[in-house]
Structure 1
Amino acid sequence: MWDGAVERSRARLAGALADGGLDRRVHLTSVVGRSVSLRRLLFDLIEEYGRHTGHADLLRESVDGRTGEDPPADWHPASTPSRPG
C-alpha cells in the first residue's frame, strides 16, 4: 500500500509541477479563505509527515528497543532498489 501511495503521489506532483510549478494555486484554502500555492501545500505536508514520523519512531523505539536514526544496513523499502555493498 505504501509503495502505491508513493507512486501516485509522485505522479500527481510531477503533473502539478508541469502544469504551473510550485507557485500555482491549488483547490485548498487557508484559514482566512485565500487559496494556497502548491509550494505552501508541499511545505505543510512535509512538516506534518515529519511530525508523524517522529511520533512513529518513538513508538517503534518503545517496541523494539533500538534507538538511533538509521535503519539496519541491510534494510531497504520495496520502492527503493537495494544498494550494492
Structure 2
Amino acid sequence: MTTERREPAFDADERTSLEGWLEFHRRTLAMKCEGLTDAQLGTASVEPSPMSLMGLVRHMTDVERFWYRTVLVDEAVTPLYWTDEDPDADFRLGEGVGRQEAHANWQAEIEAARRNAAGFALDDLSRGRHRRSGQRMNLRWIHTHMIEEYARHNGHADLIRERIDGVTGD
C-alpha cells in the first residue's frame, strides 16, 4: 500500500487548512513506516533512546486518544500504551508487538478524532480539561498542537527511517 499525501489548498479556509495539515502529517508518519518489517519498525533510533517507528505510531495513538477523546469530548478512556508509572512505555516494545495491531489502533484513534472534531467549531471549548493545567481549550488549539506534535515526531521518523534503510525524503 502506498500512502498518498496532499498539502492543503493555498486558499483553503482556516479549518480546512488546519485539518489538511494534520492529515498531511498523519500520512507522513504512515509513509515513513511503509515497506518495513515488524523488526525494522521496532529498530531503536540510537542508544539510549528506545524510540522507534513502531513506538512513534504507538505514541501518536495515545496522543490522538488523549486530545480528541479525553480532552475534547471528556470521554473516560485510559492510554493504550503508557501509564503514569511508565510514561515512556509506548516506546518500549515487548515480544509480539506488531505492525497490524499498532496500525489498527492508530487508525481507530484517528477516526475517533475526526468524528469528535466534526462536532465542534474551531472556537468551541473542549468539554474536558487538560490533566495537568486543568484548562479547557478550543478545537483550534488542539488541532494546532497536534500538527506540532506530528511535525516534531516526523522529524524523528525521518532520521530513524534513514538509519534503517537509507530512505530519505519528506
In structure 2, which of residues 106, 123, 129 is the aligned counterpart of residue 23 of structure 1?
123
Structure 2: distance between partners of 1:32 and 1:44? 15
The answer to whether residue 113 in structure 2 is matched with residue 13 in structure 1 is no
Aligned residues: 65
Percent identical: 42
Structure 2 matches for 1:44-55, cutoff 5 A?
44-55=145-156
Select the structure that is richer in strand.
Answer: 1
| Larger RCO of the pair (alpha carbons < 8 Å, separation 6+) | 2
Structure 2 unaligned spans of 5+: 1-103
| Equivalent pair of 2:117/2:139 in contact (CA under 8 Å) | no
- What displacement does 1:32 show? 6.6
Structure 1 unaligned spans of 5+: 70-85
Structure 2 matches for 1:1-85, cutoff 5 A?
1=104, 2-15=106-119, 17=120, 21-26=121-126, 27-29=128-130, 34-69=135-170
Q: Secondary structure at the match of 2:137?
A: strand
Q: Secondary structure at the match of 1:36?
A: coil
- What displacement does 1:28 show? 2.6
Cα pair distance change 1:65/1:8, threshold 3 Å? same
Structure 1: distance between partners of 2:135 and 2:109? 28
Tell which structure's C-alpha radius of gyration is larger. 1
Cα pair distance change 1:62/1:6, threshold 3 Å? same
> Where does structure 1 differ by over 2 angstroms across 4 or more consecutive aligned residues?
31-35
Q: TM-score, normalised by structure 2?
A: 0.34
CA RMSD between the two structures: 2.2
